[in-house]
């Protein structure tokens, strides 16, 4: 009788004993010793990788040109370096007491206070801001600085090199939910928003002072490694200087815009038979576009728009002088627009021979619904009404200051009851980025599409035209502001994004 055969299986059957002559496995051999410099090479390779990453992040930050973009890039870079998912930055620059210049006289601050978040909605950021500042790490950093933004003294070890101590230190809170000393409201917000740890870094340097603080949150209890903290510290050192430069630039732009607004009418006059509205925006470099509305004898009204060549403070000063001179000429001989512009051209040629300007002046008699106007190299007005929407072609003429003697015939216009005359500068057309013929077509189409319900309000007409001609510059609702002092009704004054360079002026006059 033969022995039974075992069933065939795939692989090795562990139930079958190994033959007795099989040798036991050899013990694992120890790895060969590493060369003496291998550890140093690995460490250097790691640092090269980290510095490469740091260089890429700082390059991305350097390419930002606005505070909002820089703050969002800072949050993204910090989250990548620290391994966090969410964060918040609070920028609160304080005035520098050592500065004593004209800019500081106009505005003692160095820039706006901003709060931006990464991974948080505006609603959730509002929850975080309900926590008392004094119990938060970023609040203690900001509240502990000196009034001029410099570092507060850190104790008896403060060196003699300056009035303040060292920079604020980063604050790690690895377990917020387990911290018995945490403020109850802080704990409630952390539980509601789902973060269990945080790492707070000051935005500070010896030259810029303390500008703000950045906080990154972890979903689970955690703390960044020493290497991560060091990299974030290096990054924040550069980010602080970059933000300080952007703050100075924003402060200068705001100052230029303030000066430009002060040089223009604080409010439009009230003249029977006509309703007025104006919209104005100064470009980042401060251009010389302007407008004016001046009551004249016998119930007449002078309307003017113009643009001075150049940008910056010198263009603003020239714009102020030109507008003041035109007001004087309009009072003396406003019924003759050609004479007004001729006098203005002579003054510009004698006092500022290196500068040119465009201008349009209209002498309006609202009771008779009659307008007499003349232009010097300026864009033609646009009439918007129920029966027509058309440009009023003025005679072709050169800008002021380009010829030895300027002169051009005037044009008479008789608007119908309810029609609105739009005077504007070429900045409105140039901001479209289209060729001039297409920009004129876009403006005409925008005026034609004014809703019937808005045609009785010149401010509504101006706002509709701006929204239609420049839709890409009006996407941000925070850029909209009231203009009650200028137009007599709420509307747009701040319709600008960082990319806009040209000044824009729009003056609307509706005749009853």
- Residue indicated by tokens 């576009």: 289
In tens, the pLDDT along 199-216 reads: 999 999 888 888 999 999
Q: Which residues pair with 217 in a beta bridge?
A: 86, 198
- Residue indicated by tokens 């007449």: 300
Fold of 265-511: Phosphatase 2c; domain 1 (3.60.40)
CB 322 within 8 A of CB 306: yes
CB 359 within 8 A of CB 402: no
For residue 38, pLDDT beyond 90: no
- From the number of C-beta atoms within 10 Å of its C-beta (0-12, 13-18, 19+), residue 413 rates as middle
For residue 324, pLDDT beyond 80: yes
Mean pLDDT score across all residues of the chain:
81
Q: How far apart are the first and last CA of the chain?
A: 126
Between 65 and 287, the more confident residue is 65
Position 15 scores a pLDDT of 53
149-184: string of b/e by CB count within 10 Å (b at 16+)? bbbbeeeeeeeeeeebbebbebbebeebeeeeebee
Rounded to two decimals, what is the model's pTM? 0.62
Overall average pLDDT of the 225-240 stretch: 93
Q: Which residue from 437, 487, 453, 455 is spatially nearest to 383, judged by alpha carbons?
A: 455
460: left (phi over 0), alpha (psi -120 to 50) or beta: alpha
Position 80 scores a pLDDT of 93
Between 452 and 502, the more confident residue is 452
Distances (CA, A) of 264 to 107, 225, 452: 19, 57, 31
Distance from C-alpha of 456 to C-alpha of 393, rounded to nearest angstrom:
24
Q: What is the DSSP string of 222-241?
A: ----HHHHHHHHHHHHHHHH
Q: Which two tokens stand for residue 383?
A: 């009439």
Distance from C-alpha of 151 to C-alpha of 204, rounded to nearest angstrom:
8
CB 84 within 8 A of CB 118: no
CB 283 within 8 A of CB 503: yes
15 phi/psi in degrees, rounded to 5: -80, -20
CB 410 within 8 A of CB 338: yes
Q: Which residues pair with 365 in a beta bridge?
A: 370
Position 364 scores a pLDDT of 96
CB 254 within 8 A of CB 496: no
Position 95 scores a pLDDT of 59
The residue ranges of every structural domain in the chain are: 58-150+166-255, 265-511
For residue 102, pLDDT beyond 50: no
For residue 61, pLDDT beyond 90: yes
Q: Containing H/E element for 213?
A: strand 209-218
Q: Which two tokens stand for residue 63?
A: 């390419």
**Range of lowest pLDDT (49-58, 66-75, 114-123, 143-152):** 143-152
Between 397 and 17, the more confident residue is 397
C-alpha dihedral, 311 to 319 to 112 to 249, nearest 10°: 20
Position 421 scores a pLDDT of 96
Superfamily of domain 58-150+166-255: GAF domain (3.30.450.40)
For residue 305, pLDDT beyond 70: yes
- From the number of C-beta atoms within 10 Å of its C-beta (0-12, 13-18, 19+), residue 467 rates as middle
- Give residue 266's pLDDT band: very low, low, confident or very high (50, 70, 90): confident
Q: Which two tokens stand for residue 195?
A: 């973060």
SS (H, E, C) 78-123: HHHHHCCCEEEEEECCCCCCCCCCHHHHHCCCCCCCEEEEECCCHH
For residue 187, pLDDT beyond 90: yes
**Range of lowest pLDDT (95-109, 115-129, 476-490):** 476-490
Q: Do β-strands 171-173 and 382-384 pair in parallel, antiparallel, or remain unpaired?
A: unpaired
Distance from C-alpha of 205 to C-alpha of 240, rounded to nearest angstrom:
7
Position 489 scores a pLDDT of 33
């Amino acid at each position: 009788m033969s022995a039974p055969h075992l069933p065939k299986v795939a692989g090795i059957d562990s139930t079958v004993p190994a033959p007795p002559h099989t040798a036991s496995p050899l013990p694992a051999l120890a790895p060969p010793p590493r060369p003496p410099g291998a550890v140093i090479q690995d460490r250097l390779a790691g640092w090269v990788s980290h510095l490469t990453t740091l260089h890429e992040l700082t390059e991305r930050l350097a390419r930002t040109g606005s505070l909002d973009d820089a703050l969002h890039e800072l949050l993204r870079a910090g989250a990548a370096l620290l391994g966090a998912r969410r964060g918040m930055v609070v920028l609160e620059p304080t005035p520098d007491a050592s500065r004593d210049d004209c800019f500081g006289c106009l505005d003692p601050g160095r820039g706006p206070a901003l709060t931006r978040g990464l991974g948080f909605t505006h609603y959730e950021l509002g929850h975080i801001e309900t926590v008392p500042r004094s119990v938060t790490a970023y609040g203690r950093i900001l509240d502990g600085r000196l009034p001029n933004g410099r570092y507060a003294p850190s104790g008896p070890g403060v060196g003699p090199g300056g009035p303040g101590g060292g920079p604020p230190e980063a604050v790690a809170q690895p377990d917020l939910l387990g911290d018995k000393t945490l403020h109850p409201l802080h704990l409630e917000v952390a539980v509601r928003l789902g973060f269990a740890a945080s790492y707070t870094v000051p935005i500070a340097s010896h030259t810029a002072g303390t500008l703000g603080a950045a906080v990154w949150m972890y979903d689970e209890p955690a703390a960044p490694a020493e290497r991560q903290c060091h990299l974030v510290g290096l990054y924040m050192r550069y980010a602080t200087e970059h933000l300080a430069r952007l703050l100075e630039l924003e402060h200068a732009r705001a100052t230029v815009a303030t000066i430009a607004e002060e040089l223009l009418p604080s409010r439009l006059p009230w003249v029977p038979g006509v309703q007025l509205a104006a919209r104005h925006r100064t470009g980042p470099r401060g251009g010389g576009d302007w407008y004016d509305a001046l009551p004249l004898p016998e119930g007449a009204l002078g309307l003017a728009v113009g643009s001075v060549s150049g940008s910056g403070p010198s263009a603003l000063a020239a714009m102020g002088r030109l507008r003041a001179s035109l007001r004087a000429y309009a009072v003396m001989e406003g019924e003759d627009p050609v004479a007004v512009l001729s006098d203005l051209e002579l003054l510009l040629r004698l006092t500022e021979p290196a500068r040119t300007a465009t201008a349009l002046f209209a002498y309006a008699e609202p009771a008779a619904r009659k307008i007499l106007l003349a232009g010097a190299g300026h864009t033609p007005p646009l009439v918007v009404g129920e029966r027509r929407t058309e440009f009023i072609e003025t005679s072709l003429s050169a800008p002021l200051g380009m010829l030895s003697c300027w002169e051009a015939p005037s044009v008479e216009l008789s608007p119908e009851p309810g029609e609105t005359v739009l005077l504007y500068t070429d900045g409105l057309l140039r901001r479209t980025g289209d060729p001039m013929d297409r920009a004129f077509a876009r403006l005409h189409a925008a005026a034609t599409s004014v809703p019937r319900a808005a045609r009785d309000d010149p401010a509504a007409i101006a706002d509709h035209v701006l929204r239609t001609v420049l839709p890409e510059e009006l996407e941000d609702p925070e850029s909209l502001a009231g203009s009650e002092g200028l137009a007599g009704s709420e509307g747009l004054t701040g319709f600008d994004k960082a990319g806009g360079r040209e000044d824009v002026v729009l003056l609307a006059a509706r005749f009853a």
